């Protein structure tokens, strides 16, 4: 069945600007084309009227976790909690993601294969949630970040761990290559936790299986080694050095920014306020991030965004970018097309183009005029199905229409 989604205009995620007066025609789960409602109507069997709203692609959260809530503190303790406790909490976290317009996520470490189970359950339509790319258990050194994970040292054991993760269903391999902000102990956030030989072993194993490698790394030697050895994305990157930035630009390495957890008052600042070891790193990373980002922009490094478990705050990631000199449209592209590219899903999602999956967000307002419109989510569609509000019947459509 073909459905016309009437809109006031579209921001399609390709960087072509505000497309005044365009609506969307979808056929079940795919986009047929964009056009004027009067032209598309002849092909449509039904019509949903969002004619006061803007359509944007479903947002891609390129770095998150499904079981953690940073504002509650002790993230590593949460990561190590029993699986049933985690699963119950993940349901609400996933709901918050959808409600903020996130239709695709990359899960950057969980235990108990909980990410694989949720991904499969969503694909089987047991439950509604964003499409997922999962990393299973991140690989960390004995003295590295993420102390709740089993540590892996040495090239041989790392090769084995990569293979174990791939067998468990990992779509990508996550490694922790520098210290991290949320640990109370371990190495500084600019120190490298793995040697070149260890990083090389991970990249070789993953790439031979056709899977990308994402590295938790803030700056310094850990980033340099990762980039030189072919890691596909640097995660966080608050303290990137000149050398790091030069190398990332030369290799076209992705940077995945995670600024909500660092800057938003309900993030790590709330959860771990009583931990001086963490709070000093929060302040250090905040101060560095502002100047790092100026240099990232100048160097033309490609970037996407992730909430890093700040469920529901993908809008803040975009707002942060705009506050730091990015145009609203480029901020939306970072949270849509760029994220899809990082996840290897650019042929499926991330832009509103014919043939792509019908993942889109209905926004009250024009986000190119005021980026805060990305918070004003009237409805969310994934694979052509309205998943927010969660009772997609005609009454709900009517209610949404009235609220507008």
Q: Is residue 115 involved in binding Zn ion (CB under 5 A)? A: no
User: Minimum distance from CB of 358 to Zn ion (Å)?
Assistant: 29
Q: Quick one: 275 or 330, whose CB is closer to Zn ion? A: 275
By the rule CB under 5 A, 358 interacts with Zn ion: no
- Residue with smaller CB distance to Zn ion, 308 or 317: 308
Report residue 201 as tokens: 């072993």
b vs e for 321-360, b when ≥16 Cβ sit within 10 Å of the residue's Cβ? bbebebebbbbbbbbbbbbbbbbbbbebbbbbeeebbbbb
110 binds Zn ion (CB under 5 A): no
* Residue 264 Cβ vs Zn ion, minimum distance, rounded to whole Å: 15
61 vs 308, beta carbon nearer Zn ion: 308
- Residue 60 near residue 105, CB atoms below 8 Å: yes
Crossing angle of helices 221-228/196-208, nearest 10°? 40
User: Considering beta carbons, is residue 149 or 387 the nearer one to Zn ion?
Assistant: 149
Decide whether 108 or 304 has the Cβ nearer to Zn ion.
108
Write down the least CB distance from residue 195 to Zn ion, Å. Answer: 23
Residues 6+ positions from 160 with CB-CB distance below 8 Å: none
Q: Measured between alpha carbons, how far is 333 from 326 in angstroms, rounded to an integer?
A: 11
Nearer to Zn ion, 108 or 368 (CB): 108
Binding mask 304-323 for Zn ion (x = CB under 5 A): ----x---------------
Nearest CA among 164, 163, 137, 165 for reference residue 151: 137
Tell me the window of 101-109, 281-289, 348-356, 378-386 that interacts with Zn ion (CB under 5 A). Answer: 101-109
Taking the complex as a whole, the smallest distance from the CB of residue 385 to Zn ion amounts, in Å, to 29
Structure tokens at 336: 């849509």
Q: Which stretch binds Zn ion (CB under 5 A): 10-18, 33-41, 116-124, 300-308?
A: 300-308
Q: In terms of CB distance, is 26 or 108 closer to Zn ion?
A: 108
> Cα–Cα distance between 216 and 76 in angstroms, integer?
15
Name the minimum Å distance from CB 7 to Zn ion. 34
Tell which one of 37, 108, 313, 342 touches Zn ion (CB under 5 A). Answer: 108
Q: Contact at 8 Å (CB) between 7 and 51?
A: yes
Pairing type for strands 59-64 and 377-382 reads unpaired
CB nearer Zn ion, residue 224 or residue 307 = 307
Identify which range of 22-30, 46-54, 106-114, 178-186 contacts Zn ion by CB under 5 A.
Answer: 106-114
Stretch that binds Zn ion, among 27-35, 100-108, 160-168, 189-197 (CB under 5 A): 100-108
Least distance between Zn ion and beta carbon 182 (Å): 8
Taking Cα atoms as reference points, which of 136, 138, 69, 134 lies closest to residue 97? 69
Residue closer to Zn ion (CB basis): 205 or 308: 308
Shortest Å, Cβ 303 to Zn ion:
16
Pair of tokens at residue 338: 């760029």
Least separation in angstroms between CB 3 and Zn ion: 37
DSSP states of 300-356 as a string?
Answer: T--EEE--TT-TT-HHHHHHHHHHTT--HHHHHHIIIIIHHHHTT-TTTSSS--TTS
Count of residues of this chain found to bind Zn ion when the rule CB under 5 A is applied: 2
Q: Find out whether 34 and 78 touch, Cβ atoms under 8 Å.
A: no
Q: Which is nearer to Zn ion, 232 or 308 (CB)?
A: 308
Give the range of 87-95, 102-110, 123-131, 376-384 binding Zn ion by CB under 5 A: 102-110
Minimum CB distance to Zn ion, residue 185 (Å) = 18
- CB closest to Zn ion, residue no: 308
Q: Judge whether 331 and 199 are in contact, CB under 8 Å.
A: no
Residue 269 binding Zn ion, by CB under 5 A: no
Interface segment toward Zn ion; rule CB under 5 A; list 30-38, 302-310, 347-355, 363-371 = 302-310
Tell me the residue length of the chain: 404
Report which of 328, 309, 162, 57 is spatially closest to residue 318, judged by C-alpha positions.
328
User: CA-CA distance, 266 to 86, in Å (whole number)?
Assistant: 20
* Residues that bind Zn ion in the complex, under the rule CB under 5 A: 108, 308
């Amino acid at each position: 069945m073909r459905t016309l989604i009437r809109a006031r205009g579209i921001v399609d995620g390709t960087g072509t600007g505000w497309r005044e007066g365009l609506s969307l025609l979808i056929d079940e789960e795919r986009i047929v084309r964009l056009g004027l409602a009067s032209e598309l109507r002849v092909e449509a069997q039904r019509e949903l009227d969002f004619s006061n709203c803007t359509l944007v692609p479903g947002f891609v959260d390129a770095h998150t976790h499904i079981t953690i809530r940073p504002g509650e503190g002790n993230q590593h303790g949460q990561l190590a909690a029993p699986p049933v406790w985690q699963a119950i909490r993940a349901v609400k976290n996933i709901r918050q993601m959808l409600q903020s317009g996130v239709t695709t996520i990359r899960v950057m470490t969980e235990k108990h294969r909980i990410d694989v189970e949720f991904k499969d359950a969503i694909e089987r339509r047991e439950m509604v949630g964003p499409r997922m790319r999962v990393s299973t258990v991140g690989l960390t050194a004995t003295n590295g970040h993420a102390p709740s994970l089993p540590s892996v040292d040495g090239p041989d054991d790392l090769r084995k761990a990569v293979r174990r993760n791939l067998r468990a269903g990992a779509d990508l391999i996550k490694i922790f290559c520098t210290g991290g902000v949320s640990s109370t102990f371990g190495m500084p956030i600019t120190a490298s936790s793995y040697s070149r030989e260890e990083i090389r072993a991970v990249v070789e194993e993953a790439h031979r299986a056709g899977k990308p490698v994402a590295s938790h790394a803030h700056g310094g030697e850990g980033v340099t080694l990762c980039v030189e050895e072919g890691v596909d994305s640097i995660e966080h990157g608050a303290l990137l050095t000149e050398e790091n930035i030069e190398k990332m630009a030369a290799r076209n390495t992705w940077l995945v920014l995670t600024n909500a957890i660092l800057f938003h008052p309900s993030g790590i600042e709330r959860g771990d306020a009583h931990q001086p070891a963490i709070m000093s790193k929060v302040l250090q990373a905040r101060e560095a991030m502002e100047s790092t980002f100026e240099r990232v922009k100048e160097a033309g490094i490609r970037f996407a965004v992730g909430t890093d478990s700040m469920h529901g705050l993908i809008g803040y990631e975009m707002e942060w970018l705009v506050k730091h000199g990015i145009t609203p449209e480029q901020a939306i592209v970072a949270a849509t097309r760029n994220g899809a590219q990082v996840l290897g899903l650019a042929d499926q999602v991330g832009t509103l183009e014919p043939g792509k999956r019908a993942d889109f967000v209905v926004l009250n307002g024009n986000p190119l005029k005021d980026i805060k419109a990305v918070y004003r989510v009237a409805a969310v569609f994934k694979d052509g199905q309205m998943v927010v509000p969660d009772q997609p019947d005609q009454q709900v459509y009517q209610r949404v229409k009235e609220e507008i």
